[in-house]
Amino acid sequence: MPEGQIRKALSGFYYVYYKGETYQTRGRGNFRKRDLTPLVGDYVLFESGNLSEGVVQELLPRKNELVRPTVANVDIGVVVMSAIEPNFSTNLLDRFLVTLESKGIQAIIYISKIDLLTEELFQELKEKQQDYEKMGYILIVPEPTDNKKSLEKLTSYFPNNLTVFMGQSGAGKSTLLNSIAPDLLLKTAEISSSLGRGKHTTRHVELLPLYDGLVADTPGFSSIDFLELEAEELSSCFPEFVEVQDQCRFRGCMHKKEPGCQVKKDVESHAIPEYRYKHYLQFLNEIESRKPRYDNKDKK
């Protein structure tokens, strides 16, 4: 049975790519009973007599999945953050980074609207760039007058990877995708000045071959809640915490009120930026105060 990859899902059909051809398939009848939903990006075993009539027989294990956009087996998440209008927010950026870390997805941060910054704000942004690069993140700040080099750097990570774009509303995710691949003709959304954030222009997800890799053509979520993350897992999503947590006095230290916490020591000595630690405590509080969720099947 051939192994292919779902590159598009639309109206109950799954479009499976295999050896240079795309096969239109339907999901096997018992998927619903088994609570299985094939996703774009899934590797599958399928049977097909021709290009327009096939059946996905089995889903192969996936390494991760995102909800918005609904894609499986993602390698890279490009987080698009605007420098201004809306203003650059380390809090929102850290929400995206935590989500990507929790799913084992490499993050690349791309800053848009550099040309609108004053020199003073540009220098502040460069300081933040140093912070995140020290943590091990790739942060791309285009030149104010020319983004050609920054686009070349960004697309150099595409080969052999499945890449998804995400970021705050109004940051220009669709515009950036358009500039990378003009033939995508993605609808760009203008900023709604009354709301101060972008309007959504989402549709079905399709994986497009670009720069020897695959790119999801629909930009992802603009706000983050930590519904899938447990409190004990949060610190592992901060790489600079992971680097020093073995030096904490207590194993399983939550870096909150415990004595002998190396993370807190590093915050005090400015080895870890204070704003990152504040965000950690805020996110931890959000997770700990989250109401328990009950699935319908659990209700009597």
Q: Is the peptide bond before 69 cis (omega within 30 degrees of 0)?
A: yes
217 is in an annotated binding site: no
Is there a binding annotation on residue 253? yes
Q: How far is CA 147 from the centre of its chain?
A: 22
CA end-to-end distance (rounded Å), the chain: 41
- Report yes or no: 230 and 237 within 8 Å, Cβ to Cβ: no
261 is in an annotated binding site: yes
- Establish whether 255 is an annotated binding residue: yes
Both tokens of residue 141? Answer: 């700040």
Spatial distance between the Cα atoms of 97 and 92, rounded to a whole number of angstroms = 9
4 is in an annotated binding site: no
Asked whether 87 and 223 are in contact (CB, 8 A), the reply is no
Helix (H, G, I), strand (E, B) or coil at 146: strand
- Pick the closest to residue 65 from 154, 162, 160 (CA basis): 162
SS3 145: coil
Return the closest-CA partner of residue 16 out of 27, 28, 7, 29. Answer: 7
269 is in an annotated binding site: no
Residue type, 65: E
- Is 27 a known ligand-binding residue? no
Contacts of 167 (CB under 8 A, 6+ apart): 78, 79, 80, 81, 96, 110, 173, 219, 220, 222
Binding site annotation covers 260?
Answer: no
Q: In this structure, what is the dihedral angle of CA atoms 137, 203, 149, 104, given to the nearest 10 degrees? A: 20
245 annotated as belonging to a binding site for a ligand? no
Q: Check residue 35 and give left, alpha or beta (phi > 0: left; psi -120 to 50: alpha).
A: left
Residue carrying the six token digits 């959304």: 189
Annotated ligand binding at 84? The verdict is no
Q: Is 237 annotated as a binding residue?
A: no
Tell me if 107 is assigned to a ligand binding site: no
Q: Is 112 annotated to bind ligand?
A: yes
Q: What single DSSP character describes residue 228?
A: S
Annotated binding site for GTP: 112-115, 167-175
Annotated binding site: 112-115, 167-175, 248, 253, 255, 261
Annotated binding site for Zn(2+): 248, 253, 255, 261
